[in-house]
Structure 1
Amino acid sequence: MAEIPHAFHAAGGVLLQTITSNSMNQPAISRKDFLKNSTLGLAGLTLVPDALNAQSQKKHVTSGTSYTLKNVRLETGFEYENDEVIATRTGLFSIDIENGKIKQISAGQPPAKAIDAGGMLMLPSFRDMHIHLDKTFYGGPWQAVRKRTGGVKGMIALEQKILPDMLKTSTFRAEKLIELLQSKGTSFARSHVNIEPTSRLASLKNLQTALENRKNTFGAELVAFPQHGVFYTDTVPFLKEAAKSGIDFIGGLDPYTIDGAIEKTIDFTVQLALDNGKGIDIHLHESGESGLKTVEYLISKVNENPALKGKTYLSHCFVLGRLDKPKQEEIAEKLSAAQIGIASTIPFGGLIMPIPTLLKHNVKVLTGNDSIIDHWNTFGTGSVLAKANLAAQLYGYSTEFGLSRMLKLATAGPVPLDDNGVQQWPKAGDDADLVLVDASCSAEAVARIPAVKSLVYKGKIVF
């Protein structure tokens, strides 16, 4: 199929033209009436519109929507020169969406009643797989971080002081942070949520309220995170309660540094996960001997309990960046065999994580923004596509092929073309979770981080 140049429409993005109805015999409705009565709001192209607050979401977002996107740019294959990928082929297609799924992909003439995507590139929507939605300054007055004293335990003392006030606005701020993520093309997040004696389960309940308010346009899985230690503070009873309160993973934090006991803390975490059918996602910042021992002990526990394979993650895991190359290879092989994933924020500066080594051994690598504008971190754009771009720069993935592979960090897995250039996404039956960006292909999207023009979550056009 011959390529058609991008149609860069007024307002810099996708325009609503005419809308498909449940019956092709019904007349098209006006844009005004459509926006009033349906899920398809395309007004805000770089920021989630005010219509997506909790109350209006319940009013406007409905289920069972059927519509067609036309002039959607999809990747169809690689172009080669002397066995090197030098470009990505694309074509324009129509995408039928029904009841939250992609029903059909066609290259023929689209129906008259369709939404014009204007030649924008369609990619899987992004997934932020390590973030703290429950505690942020975002959505309130600007605050930079203050000087830290006392390391992580000093920060625990600070949290014990400020959390009661933060809880008063945590639902509202979580929703504002979700809006930021959506504006960057993210429709799903794995959020760690504080479980500790200060807030008990209040952080969890407040975040669950925010997620309930946004359930029609945003998905999430939750990690019960003992930010103040499992045993350093008396968090055990609250973790046990949280495990029965709608969370998906049991978390952890530096078992040696905080709790002073690797085996005791990991054993508790593993057993709690097994008893409640949960996964595991442990923050591990320790970069010395204790960090390596924690990794190796967790690998052994997962191998003893195969039910945890594919459901266990180490967040950060900075110790991997401190190991020599042979040891990195060894640990990567063991992580892969145990199906333990790494959730990395792609740090840079003095510590460079061995992401290429992990990928070579088929370790599942996820990324996320972690803290965004809170007492831990002043920074945070909300973009995991920017994280993929950073990884491409740090590890030299600058070719067409390399850049296209880095997209999987932003999507938590799916990319349009497999390593051989065969189209694997989208397919009929896939969830209609997608973004439209002004780029010619995945490689350009990773390299240039274009603005997200539209986000669709389970068939609902978020913006």
Structure 2
Amino acid sequence: MNEAYWLINVTLDSGFVFENERIDRTKTATYNMYIKNGIIEDMQLASTMPLETDGPVHDARKLLALPPFKEMHNHLDKTYLGLPWKSCTPVPNLIERLKLEAKELAELAETGQLRAERMLQLLLSGGATHVRTHVNIDPYIGMKNLEEIQRALYRFKGKMTYEIVAFPQHGLLRTNSKGLMRQAMKEGASLVGGLDPGGVDNNIEASLYEMVDLAVEFDADIDIHIHDPGHLGLYTIKKLASLIDEAGWKNRAAISHAFALGDVSIGESNEVASELSNLGIAIMSTVPINRVMPPVDSLHEKGVHVALGCDGFYDSWSPFGTGDMLEKAGRLAERYNWKDEYALSQSLQFITGGVKTLDHEGNRLWPKAGNDASMVFVDASCAAEAVAWRSTRAAVMVDGNLVYGGLDRESALKSN
């Protein structure tokens, strides 16, 4: 699209209709937006503003605009996308899964860019314009996966932003990978990752210390995967929190999965949640349906930032997954029975980096003049419907440029 133009007939959530002191439904309105240099410079109700301009005009045809989605837990280097169909080989435990994965790493690394690009396109078509990807750093493939993923991400410049987590999938201590992790951070990884200091590295304190030490050395944030269940996982989370506090790494760490928070009692979970909130430690969840998950509802109430991701899918770990972040938000709403209008609309924040369209009183929070002109256009009447129905994505816009689909309603919907 041109550098400056009017985008007309954009449907936005505009408030709530209250019945008997409860939110009954969402009000929407149609707006015209003036977009210049990737920024929404002006917004006017379409019904009250006769558009008079000699400049370019593009018609959103009353599609609903939502904030762009963020995929906050992915493994671009693992997917089989782009390769012939292959189902998952069953294994009895995590260590055996790691052994099986190690056998195919070198072969898969040769097609890393191709497979990652297939995944990125799938994520983009679903409305995700940011991805946090974990990339294996281990003795089996060295920097090969990192190089392949960097090339794939470069191809999506201007379409998606990203974070790369240097991820010691086979154990930081178990495979003596600290040197490789240091090299990965020098060569473009932006976060330090970790994995099950107890269940994989068999030394909780030493593994966590080495991970935090790397983060401090490179002034990097942390994203550690803690699958370990019950009190083993809970102890690990508590120990991590103490090291984060000691290092002064407040608001710079995340725990992916954190299954233990769903295994222990509510009292224990709430106690840890308060500590996580105070230290700004986020929780990244994939909303699994095959095991207990961390209590997102109570974590959120305690002020813990919770974000969702699709994880790796169609890979050696699992053949399932769609890459659709809106589906993740809908599954979360189903999991916690968030079925009223307000709860459905608010569940969107778990895939937008905390951005909501409306507050509880119905005041619009997004979009506003001055915001980036980045949005997802969906065939829905409001955000609540979009979440409940996983509504079709017609187009995706980043900084004022269409990067997926089209704004002609019929052709855009047919393309999906």
How far, CA to CA, are the matches of 2:158 and 2:400 in structure 1?
10
Deviations 1:355-413 (A, max 9, x none): 10001101000000001211111011111110110111110110000101101112121
Match of 2:70 among 127, 132, 137: 127
Give the conservation status (yes or no) of the 8 Å contact 2:71–2:310. yes
How far, CA to CA, are the matches of 2:129 and 2:348 in structure 1?
15
Between the aligned residues of both structures, percent identity stands at 38
Match of 2:323 among 379, 382, 386: 382
Structure 1 spans left out of the alignment, 5+ residues: 1-39, 41-63
How far, CA to CA, are the matches of 1:247 and 1:422 in structure 2?
39
Deviations 1:241-267 (A, max 9, x none): 112222221000101111111111111
Label 1:305 to 1:418 Cα distance change in 2 as closer, same or farther (>3 A): farther
Deviations 1:143-166 (A, max 9, x none): 1111114x2221222222111110
How far, CA to CA, are the matches of 2:139 and 2:372 in structure 1?
39
Match of 1:114 among 57, 73, 76: 57
TM-score by length of 1: 0.84
2:207 aligned partner? 265
1:211 aligned partner? 153
1:104 aligned partner? 42
2:26 aligned partner? 88
* 1:66 Cα deviation from its structure 2 partner: 2.4
How far, CA to CA, are the matches of 1:425 and 1:239 in structure 2?
39
Match of 1:440 among 354, 376, 381: 381
Match of 2:259 among 293, 307, 318: 318
How far, CA to CA, are the matches of 1:285 and 1:352 in structure 2?
10
Counterparts of residues 55-454 of structure 1 (less than 5 Å):
65-107=3-45, 108-110=49-51, 111=53, 113-149=56-92, 151-306=93-248, 308-454=249-395
Give the conservation status (yes or no) of the 8 Å contact 2:7–2:58. yes
Give the conservation status (yes or no) of the 8 Å contact 2:3–2:38. yes
* 1:284 Cα deviation from its structure 2 partner: 0.4
Number of residue pairs aligned between Structure 1 and Structure 2: 399
Give the conservation status (yes or no) of the 8 Å contact 1:195–1:224. yes
Give the conservation status (yes or no) of the 8 Å contact 1:414–1:425. yes
Give the conservation status (yes or no) of the 8 Å contact 1:384–1:409. no
How far, CA to CA, are the matches of 2:50 and 2:389 in structure 1?
32
State which drifts further: 312-321 or 74-83: 74-83
* 1:426 Cα deviation from its structure 2 partner: 0.8
Supply the AA of the counterpart residue of 2:79: T
How far, CA to CA, are the matches of 1:460 and 1:134 in structure 2?
28
Supply the AA of the counterpart residue of 1:357: S
Structure 2 spans left out of the alignment, 5+ residues: 405-416
State which drifts further: 262-271 or 242-251: 242-251
Give the conservation status (yes or no) of the 8 Å contact 1:287–1:319. yes
How far, CA to CA, are the matches of 2:38 and 2:106 in structure 1?
39
Give the conservation status (yes or no) of the 8 Å contact 1:280–1:311. yes
State which drifts further: 215-224 or 344-353: 344-353
How far, CA to CA, are the matches of 2:269 and 2:23 in structure 1?
29
* 1:83 Cα deviation from its structure 2 partner: 2.0
How far, CA to CA, are the matches of 2:21 and 2:302 in structure 1?
23
Supply the AA of the counterpart residue of 2:399: K
Question: Any idea what SS the aligned residue of 1:119 has?
Answer: coil
